[in-house]
């Protein structure tokens, strides 16, 4: 009976955390204000062409920061007309991406900057939408891209994607005052001097999860941040190289991220995840004891909740309703892998660099 109770509590927790989940509703306005787009890139020759192609007709300054790439990233970026700069000697202790961003932002000529990961793609009209949303409040804005997937193994990322959105606290049922607790890393917009001020702090640029720490640092000064989903604005395809890339990509920082977000949000997310695993346990118990009614109802409820919410953050398929235990198992294995590589073996690497 405890498995049924925990399953239902987890189901309710998921509803509470994602109750307001929907694409941004702001009316798009065409702006004449110029911005500087900063793209940090390390060995991104296979990904960055898609982003630069989506930016081909934009009137804004585009700066690609070549972060010690060992491939043709710099040449490809230059061929698309982007301004390419090389990172300067990195001070000891500062992580690669934060340093690349700081180097790029220092070269920006406009007051408002847009930071884009190299694997993102701006949707038609996306830049105007981002700028419109930002100018509503002119407070730091972060956007989690819509996850566009082409192969089945990529959809194993569903729980990771949902946890990232949940961690922001943007779409929670009781979040009337919009107390956002996490900043997304792939897409950010803010003022140039604002970024330099906060990203130059050691408690930000020496951390693997510099996006979360950046948001925390801004919040400490009682400055509101905004974190939204990017459906219809910006998308990405995260790990097209294979399932091992998915494992390593999410595993490189997920265990760290679990303890870096707001405590109460972490508790809510833990209840939601526990409910998913309790549902699987309830089904197993139902099979053993021939008590299928409650377990099947809970199973379908969990599957439907996952599908209904996840379709706002990626092109996940309806098969998720029935196959979510496979996704839950992969999530658990990745979390264990993350703990082992980060805290036990201390061999956590990404793109040939220790992180």
The average confidence (pLDDT) of the chain is 89
What 3-state class would DSSP assign to 144? strand
Pairing between β-strand 141-144 and β-strand 120-122 as defined by DSSP bridges: unpaired
User: Which pair of tokens denotes residue 109?
Assistant: 């000529």
User: Which pair of tokens denotes residue 6?
Assistant: 């925990």
Contacts of 112 (CB under 8 A, 6+ apart): 33, 35, 36, 131, 134, 189, 190, 191, 192
Residue with tokens 């309703």: 321
Mean pLDDT of 325-339: 91
Among residues 34, 221, 28, 242, the alpha carbon closest in space to that of 123 is found at 28
Span 194-240, pLDDT tens digits: 999 999 999 888 887 788 889 889 989 988 899 999 999 999 998 88
DSSP per position, 69-133: -SSSHHHHHHHTT-EEEEPPPPPTT--HHHHHHHHHHHT--SSEEEEE-TTEEEPTTHHHHHHHH
Q: Residue 19 above 60 pLDDT?
A: yes
DSSP label at residue 27 = P
Residue with tokens 């585009």: 62
Span 231-281, pLDDT tens digits: 999 999 988 889 988 888 887 766 555 545 677 888 899 999 999 999 999
| 109 alpha-carbon distance from chain centroid | 27
Span 22-80, pLDDT tens digits: 988 777 777 788 999 999 999 999 999 999 999 998 999 999 999 989 999 999 999 99
Span 81-124, pLDDT tens digits: 999 999 988 888 898 899 999 999 999 999 999 999 999 999 99
Residue with tokens 């003022």: 191
Q: How many CB atoms lie within 10 A of CB 188?
A: 26
Main-chain dihedrals φ then ψ at residue 110, nearest 5 degrees: -115, 155
Contact between residue 75 and residue 188 where contact means Cβ atoms under 8 Å apart: no
pLDDT of residue 253: 66
How far lies 182's CA from each of 109, 211, 224, 268, 296, in Å?
A: 28, 8, 11, 14, 35
pLDDT of residue 118: 95
Contact between residue 19 and residue 268 where contact means Cβ atoms under 8 Å apart: no
Q: How far apart are CA 204 and CA 201, in angstroms?
A: 5
Put simply, whether the predicted model's pTM sits higher than 0.85 gets the answer yes
Q: How far apart are CA 69 and CA 77, in angstroms?
A: 12
């Amino acid at each position: 009976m405890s498995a049924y109770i925990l399953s239902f509590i987890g189901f309710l927790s998921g509803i509470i955390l994602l109750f307001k989940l929907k694409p941004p509703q702001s009316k798009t306005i065409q702006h004449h204000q110029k911005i500087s787009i900063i793209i940090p890139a390390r060995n991104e020759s296979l990904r960055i062409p898609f982003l630069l192609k989506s930016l081909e007709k934009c009137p804004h300054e585009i700066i690609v920061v070549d972060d010690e790439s060992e491939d043709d990233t710099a040449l490809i970026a230059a061929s698309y007309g982007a301004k390419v700069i090389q990172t300067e000697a990195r001070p000891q202790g500062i992580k690669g991406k934060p340093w690349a961003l700081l180097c790029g932002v220092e070269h920006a000529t406009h007051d408002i900057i847009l930071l884009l990961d190299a694997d993102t793609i701006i949707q038609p009209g996306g830049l105007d939408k981002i700028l419109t949303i930002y100018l509503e409040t002119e407070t730091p804005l972060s956007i989690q891209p819509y996850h566009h997937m082409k192969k089945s193994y990529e959809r194993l990322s569903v729980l990771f994607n949902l946890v990232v959105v949940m961690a922001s606290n943007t779409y929670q049922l009781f979040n009337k005052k919009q107390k956002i607790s996490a900043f997304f890393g792939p897409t950010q917009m803010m003022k140039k001097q604002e970024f330099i001020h906060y990203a130059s702090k050691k408690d930000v640029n020496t951390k693997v999860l510099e996006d979360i720490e950046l948001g925390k640092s801004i919040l400490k000064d009682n400055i509101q941040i905004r974190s939204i989903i990017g459906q219809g604005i910006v998308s990405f395809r995260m790990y097209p190289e294979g399932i091992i890339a998915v494992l390593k990509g999410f595993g490189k920082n997920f265990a760290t991220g679990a303890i870096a977000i707001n405590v109460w949000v972490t508790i809510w997310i833990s209840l939601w995840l526990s409910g998913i695993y309790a549902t699987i346990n309830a089904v197993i118990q139902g099979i053993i004891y021939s008590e299928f009614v409650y377990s099947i109802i809970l199973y379908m409820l969990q599957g439907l909740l996952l599908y209904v919410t996840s379709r706002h953050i990626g092109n996940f398929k309806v098969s998720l309703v029935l196959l979510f235990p496979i996704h839950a198992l992969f999530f658990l294995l990745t979390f264990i892998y993350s703990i082992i590589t980060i805290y036990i073996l201390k061999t956590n690497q990404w793109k040939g660099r220790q992180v």
